[in-house]
């Protein structure tokens, strides 16, 4: 079971100007451009400064947004439907609060470990500002009754309707108590799987622990009990590949190809390609394309069957000596890239040795691994498009 809650959040007066991508996918170049606009959320989620000054500047930005009415608080508790549309892909879900007690008890299921430094950063950010501006993206297994209620909410005029970052963004507000109660009852039978935002979820849980320690009596309705969440049906999800680029091979090209033939059928390909199925991997090695087909198809677990896991277990670790891909400086990651000519540029123009083109992980594999208590390999999934930050700001103050 999962307990959901309506919110009384702040909303931006001009969402097209205010909202941004999530903080962890914003490049330095994009950050600097966004900071030219004093009314951008960027000043709250990626503030300037050194050390503790960073978090104080985030708080100052939040206070400024409120004072100048760049964001305005809702007077009534409500939930929202959020939809992103384009010619290529559209998806939608609910924005609401989800009980952090359910996160702690395992009803909100994780699929990756958090890292110490990012978690410390986001925990300091949330404890200083007392606001959540970024959504934790979760999915539930397709439920017709929930999806029908979402469609019912969409019958009214949207509160926001604007274009940004290649998508049309629509937000509907629902304050009807009966509809919210109906959703609450339906979610009592659901589990949620975290798709994106593990550090945001973990930092909110850390803040809740601190607040419980401070209180002699627990207030079950306090906003800090709830996680700001984008909740979508699992048929509303698009996962794109999370590709790898190796800067320099530690061995010769000939030796590398010879070693990987132990576990893969290696087929030279005349033209570039995106893998068409699981256990098929593309390599662009020093100007030549190869298709790898996994030989052994009997796996101990679903996790071991993932191409990202096979790649790590059979190539990156034993052959290229990249044991910790998050920390090794000889590898970096590109999420969501499908354009083949751009892949080739990483090798031809930028001087890297190897581009590894992967087939995307399926949502059913992610759910199955999560349900078993398993952990996905690092950088396994790229959910696209990213949901905007700043559409809804969940204040944690009582």
Give the residue extent of every domain in the chain: 4-238+385-395, 242-359
**Strand pairing class (108-109; 79-85):** unpaired
Encode pLDDT of 92-107 as tens digits: 999 999 999 999 998 9
CB distance 282 to 267 below 8 Å: no
The domain 242-359 is placed in CATH, from the list 3.30.1760, 3.90.380, 3.30.1660, 2.20.70, at 3.30.1760
DSSP 8-state secondary structure symbol assigned to residue 87 = S
Encode pLDDT of 227-275 as tens digits: 999 999 999 999 999 999 999 999 999 999 999 999 999 999 999 999 9
CB distance 283 to 292 below 8 Å: yes
Give dist(CA 389, CA 130) in Å, integer.
16
pTM of the model: 0.92
Whether residue 338 is preceded by a cis peptide bond, meaning omega within 30 degrees of 0, is no
The sign one gets for the Cα dihedral 170, 176, 177, 179 is negative
CB hemisphere CA count around 282 (13 angstroms):
25
Encode pLDDT of 156-197 as tens digits: 999 999 999 999 999 999 999 999 999 999 999 899 999 999
């Amino acid at each position: 079971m999962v307990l959901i809650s309506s919110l009384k959040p702040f909303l931006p007066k001009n969402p097209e100007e205010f909202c941004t991508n999530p903080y962890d996918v914003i490049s330095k170049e994009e950050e600097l451009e966004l900071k030219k606009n004093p009314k951008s959320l960027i000043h709250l989620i990626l503030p300037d400064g050194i050390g503790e000054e960073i978090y104080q500047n985030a708080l100052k930005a939040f206070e400024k947004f409120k004072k100048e009415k760049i964001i305005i608080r809702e007077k009534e508790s409500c939930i929202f439907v959020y939809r992103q549309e384009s010619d290529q892909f559209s998806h939608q879900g609910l924005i609401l609060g989800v009980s952090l007690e359910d996160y702690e008890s395992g009803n909100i299921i994780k699929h990756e470990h958090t890292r110490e430094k990012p978690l410390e950063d986001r925990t300091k950010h949330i404890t200083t500002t007392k606001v959540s501006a970024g959504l934790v993206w979760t999915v539930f297994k397709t439920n017709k009754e929930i999806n029908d209620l979402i469609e019912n909410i969409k019958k009214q005029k949207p509160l926001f309707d604007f274009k940004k970052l290649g998508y049309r963004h629509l937000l509907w507000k629902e304050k009807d108590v009966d509809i919210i109660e109906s959703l609450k009852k339906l979610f009592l039978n659901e589990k949620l799987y975290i798709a994106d935002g593990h550090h945001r979820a973990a930092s909110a849980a850390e803040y809740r622990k601190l607040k419980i320690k401070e209180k002699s009596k627990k207030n079950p309705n306090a906003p800090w009990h709830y996680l700001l969440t984008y909740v979508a049906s699992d048929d509303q999800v698009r996962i794109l590949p999370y590709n790898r680029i190796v800067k320099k091979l530690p061995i010769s090209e000939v030796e590398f190809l010879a070693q990987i033939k132990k576990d893969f059928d290696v087929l030279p390909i005349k033209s570039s390609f995106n893998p068409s199925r699981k256990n098929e991997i593309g390599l662009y090695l020093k100007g030549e394309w190869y298709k790898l087909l996994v030989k052994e198809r009997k796996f101990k677990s679903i996790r071991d069957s993932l191409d990202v896991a096979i790649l790590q277990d059979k190539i990156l670790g034993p052959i290229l000596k990249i044991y910790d891909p998050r920390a090794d400086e000889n590898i970096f990651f590109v999420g969501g890239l499908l354009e083949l000519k751009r892949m080739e540029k990483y090798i031809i123009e930028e001087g890297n040795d190897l581009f590894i083109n992967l087939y995307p992980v399926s949502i059913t594999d992610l759910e199955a691994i999560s349900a078993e208590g398993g952990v996905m390999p690092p950088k396994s999934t790229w959910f696209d498009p990213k949901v905007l930050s700043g559409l809804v700001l969940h204040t944690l103050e009582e």
